[in-house]
Amino acid sequence: MAVNIISRRNTLKKSLAFFMSSSLGLTGCRLSSRGQFIEYPFTLGVASGDPLSDSVVLWTRLAPRPDEPHGGLTLDHAPVSWQLSEDEHFKNILRHGVEIAKPGSAFSIHADVKGLQPSRVYFYRFIAGGVASPTGRTRTAPSPDAFPGDIRIAQAGCQNFESGYYTAYRHMASDDLDLIIHTGDYIYEGGQSPHGLRLHQDFRCKTLEQYRRRYALYKSDLDLQAAHAAHPFSAVWDDHEIKNNWHGAIPGSAYQNRKSAALKAWWEHMPVRPTQSPSQIQLKLYRSLTFGRTVSFNFCDTRQFRTPQPCGGQKSSLCSEAMNSGAQMFGQLQEEWLLSRLRNTSSIWNVIIQGVPITEINSSRDPNLKQYSMDKWDGYRVPRRRLLSFIESNNIPGPISLAGDLHRHLASELHVNFSQPKKVPVAHEFVNTSISSGGDGKKVSKTSDRWLRNNQHIKFVENQRGYLRHQIRPSSWTAEFMSLDSVSQRHAALRVSREIYLERKINIQNMLR
Ligand code: FE
Ligand code: CA
């Protein structure tokens, strides 16, 4: 329950009233008899996300002991107040409210703060049991009818905790960004690996409590916390938020329980709107954000509704199953939603964000044989052709795909028919490498060279860790591939290893007419 736009004194009164009722319900506690937290409850930091021009979601989770059940809390509820200000010292509090943290949602808070100004920086914090959280900084989206001239986005994903440090997030935290976009694999569900640089807990996630403890472990990373506290964040999931290579048709009640636990834990730990909380096994991930007329971001779900991977599911040459006309990547409802968003767009750039690369990647070592990964769009050729043909025949303006999963940086042109790479591309794709998954990579690698050689539409491949940084203007899109030489050492420097520039001839006066 958000209590917006009421006097500060009122909020304090309400907060106190909630607090008294909650302290009566205590059965054991991390609170003193005077209602103060004895142990610091904001161990997982704060975050904000899914910014609109007039609202943004503020997130935190109370967890004094993050690796214990319910984060070490035995309360039946706890009031958490939030404050939002234009100055970081909260001299003038513009918005405030109280939300109730409950064990049923892991004591997480998702405050959807409304009535804000477009393109504005705000600071926020939470207060619970007399303790204040770290201060977060966020920014609303530009006004829907504006043509913002300079939007800066980071694109990242795949952050296996065991494989390396989150140095890329530390660099993002100090960068000037409007939004961080995450393309999936925020956690990895697997057990402990014998060679981990730092270790998972000793279990493979299957229950709600295990997924919660895994998110808590990942969110204990201070570089990740710094990036969340510095910029708003919008994510899709890929496979490892649930399990490796999952699809929409896995049978069995044990799996359904696991999936609903995983999706619930995802919602509990992401700065997404309360309206997206999961009902049983379905969570509606797909949604869009518009940054003025300059760009629309369409966040899509390429796991929950996809048909099973064809041709054995792994890396394979094409079999007839890969041409199955009933194959789905988005599922019918989501595909209709996306195509209608694209058809009715008034944005200059139209971005599709999802987990797996759309581009064709023939990774075969044998020149007489073609091999593709069936978990990516290469295994879903009919839906891919349908999407790209739609973009081509409807002349969708500025189509861009942002994807992850490869653990490599990649830039590609997208074609309806990839055997005609000389044709004008239908769209462009930027794939972010991993934050840490795969550990230290190599700037030069045989696999990267082979991908470039086998696939003329692919323009850049690099196997190092890092993220992508995009500068979006009405008339241009600049993608910078940011790379780190090491994630097994904490302080690696960041460099731009490739810059790709796309230009569009735009007459804004004509668009305004
Ligand atoms: Fe991954
Ligand atoms: Ca993946």
pLDDT digits (tens, 9 = 90+) for 373-422: 999 999 999 999 999 999 999 999 999 999 999 999 999 999 999 999 99
> Which is the CATH superfamily of the domain at 1-140?
Purple acid phosphatase-like, N-terminal (2.60.40.380)
| Successive 10-residue mean pLDDT values, the chain, 513 residues | 30 34 38 70 98 98 94 92 97 98 96 98 96 97 94 98 98 98 98 94 97 98 98 98 96 95 97 83 89 98 97 93 96 98 97 98 96 97 98 98 98 97 96 98 94 98 98 97 96 96 86 71
Residue 168 has a pLDDT of: 98
Residue 277 has a pLDDT of: 82
Residue carrying the six token digits 């590609």 = 412
For the chain, what are the domain ranges? Answer: 1-140, 144-512
Residue 276 has a pLDDT of: 85
> 434 C-alpha vs ligand 1 centroid, how far in Å?
7
Residue 97 has a pLDDT of: 98
Can you give the three-state secondary structure of 471-489, one letter per residue?
A: EEECCEEEEEEEEECCCCC
Instruction: Tell me if domain 1-140 and domain 144-512 are identical in fold.
Output: no
Per DSSP, the chain holds a count of helices (H) and strands (E) of: 9, 23
> 268 C-alpha vs ligand 2 centroid, how far in Å?
21
- Calculate helix-pair angle for 253-269, 208-219, nearest 10 degrees: 30
Residue 405 has a pLDDT of: 98
Q: Which ligand is nearest to the CA of 403?
A: 2
Phi then psi for residue 66, to 5 deg, are: -60, -25
Q: What global pTM score does this model have?
A: 0.93
The tokens describing 259, both together, are 């999936």
> 389 C-alpha vs ligand 2 centroid, how far in Å?
26
Residue 507 has a pLDDT of: 81
Residue 376 has a pLDDT of: 98
Residue 438 has a pLDDT of: 97
- Is residue 262 classed as helix, strand or coil in its secondary structure? helix
Dist. CA 180–CA 169, nearest whole Å: 10
Q: Which ligand is nearest to the CA of 161?
A: 1
> 201 C-alpha vs ligand 2 centroid, how far in Å?
20
Dist. CA 127–CA 121, nearest whole Å: 21
Dist. CA 256–CA 79, nearest whole Å: 32
Residue 12 has a pLDDT of: 33
Q: What is the CATH number of domain 144-512?
A: 3.60.21.70
Residue 9 has a pLDDT of: 31
